[in-house]
Structure 1
């Protein structure tokens, strides 16, 4: 367990990739704060982890809300004393063409993915700077997405910004022994991707075949595939890796 006694905060952790990441970190010995805007999903995962003798607490958090994030980190500090690992995974995706996109749709993507990333970093880094140790991993996405989807301007813009934020932050926090990296998954078989396929008029099995045929490894990825890369970046094995955008998509 190479993350024993480390304290990790994972956003968007109730389902999908975030759930797999939180579970993997807990399995590696970390104490995990499970944050999600859907409190029921966060509570369910925290309870499941506690039943298997992991330390986990759940929070209902809108990462785009400064006060929510402040209160969450204050509670984590009160419970465990610090934060060593931050996983910014919360995200939204609106497949809407620009001429039909409302301001609220654009604001939602930027608030959750980009502002949420900044909000969490703002509060987490103070612990990391003080202790001269930290791991920040941002979950973005290849831009453009490998399937060549259109109607993703807000999604693409926010993810491109996260990548730039990651590289700049790595330079800023490097002197404090804090690494900052991003993981950009694509072709991951999640509930979100399955729902998008259905909205596009495709059966899930047909979509899997369609996607797999375009992937060098001839299969879609799993949330656990992403979690493994995140766990590596969160560990001391990745102590000399920073400012990198690592694609997890089964393709070059």
Structure 2
């Protein structure tokens, strides 16, 4: 083990931002605990084998010299966040970086969103984030820590997802103020449209046409920014919502 540990949620798929982030942080000397939730990946398939992705991530982290711990975690269960932090700390030591990259994301609109779906989005995307931050802060090292969360402003015809991400923004903003005296920073990244398996060909073409760069963002683009925010160089950056979108035009 390297002596500093990051917990990254939602790292089941090989094409995910969390997967890319885990590898980037490992290259900077972090040990990595990461969560997966197989039942969600089966319910919302996004073009890759989550079991294979998690197994390959664990193997690659170890190959790069990092400690690695996979935790299967149903974040809709309010008991899960405390368990996840406890397992990560017991196996790899105190967690000093928390990257919130998990999400419940099922498209629906004002008229057809069900109460069950709405509640599930808020349980996973909002309540679990609050509980993970609380559990993280309770065990964070005395010399501080880092919280980075992924957000989105996509809400039209994506109501429960977008609304829950708006609530997440406020929780992270609160953390940036309430935890600052302990040297813990808290920031949000809006990565814009990243093809992590959810785009079909027409969606990819439509969104690419709105990128001044002429290309869509990649998981690695976002991972590089997370890598910075988790570093000592970012100690003076907190309470920010950073639009890292390549100039995306809505």
CA deviations over 1:74-109 (Å, ceiling 9, x no partner): 122212221100001100222112222111110121
Contact 1:20 1:224 in 2 (8 A): yes
Q: Distance in 2 between matches of 1:220 and 1:93?
A: 20
Of 55, 61, 75, which aligns to 1:63?
A: 75
Question: 1:187, CA displacement in angstroms?
Answer: 1.6
Equivalent residue for 1:201? Answer: none
Matched ranges for 1:216-231 at <5 A:
216-231=212-227
After TM superposition, the structure 1 stretch with the greater mean CA deviation from structure 2, 233-242 or 102-111, is 102-111
Of 163, 170, 173, which aligns to 1:167?
A: 173
Equivalent residue for 1:241? Answer: 237
Equivalent residue for 1:6? Answer: 4
Contact 1:35 1:42 in 2 (8 A): no
SS at match of 1:5: coil
Where does the alignment leave 5 or more consecutive residues of structure 2 unmatched? Answer: 39-49
Question: 1:43, CA displacement in angstroms?
Answer: 3.6
Q: Distance in 1 between matches of 2:168 and 2:79?
A: 21
Equivalent residue for 2:45? Answer: none
Question: 1:207, CA displacement in angstroms?
Answer: 2.8
Contact 2:4 2:93 in 1 (8 A): no
More helix by share: 1
Question: 1:53, CA displacement in angstroms?
Answer: 2.6
Q: Distance in 2 between matches of 1:43 and 1:104?
A: 32
TM-score, normalization: structure 1?
0.87
The count of aligned residue pairs is: 233
Contact 2:185 2:239 in 1 (8 A): yes
State the superposition RMSD in angstroms: 1.7
Question: 1:150, CA displacement in angstroms?
Answer: 2.6
Question: 1:215, CA displacement in angstroms?
Answer: 1.3
Contact 2:149 2:187 in 1 (8 A): yes
Of 64, 79, 85, which aligns to 2:91?
A: 79
Q: Distance in 2 between matches of 1:116 and 1:44?
A: 26
Equivalent residue for 2:44? Answer: none
Matched ranges for 1:1-252 at <5 A:
5-15=3-13, 16-38=16-38, 40=51, 41-128=53-140, 131-141=142-152, 143=153, 145=154, 150-191=156-197, 193-194=198-199, 197=200, 204=201, 206-251=202-247
Q: Distance in 1 between matches of 2:138 and 2:156?
A: 39
Structure 1: 4+ residue segments shifted above 6 A: none
Question: 1:132, CA displacement in angstroms?
Answer: 3.5
Question: 1:58, CA displacement in angstroms?
Answer: 0.4
Where does the alignment leave 5 or more consecutive residues of structure 1 unmatched? Answer: 198-203
SS at match of 2:187: strand
TM-score, normalization: structure 2?
0.87
After TM superposition, the structure 1 stretch with the greater mean CA deviation from structure 2, 237-246 or 209-218, is 209-218
Equivalent residue for 2:41? Answer: none
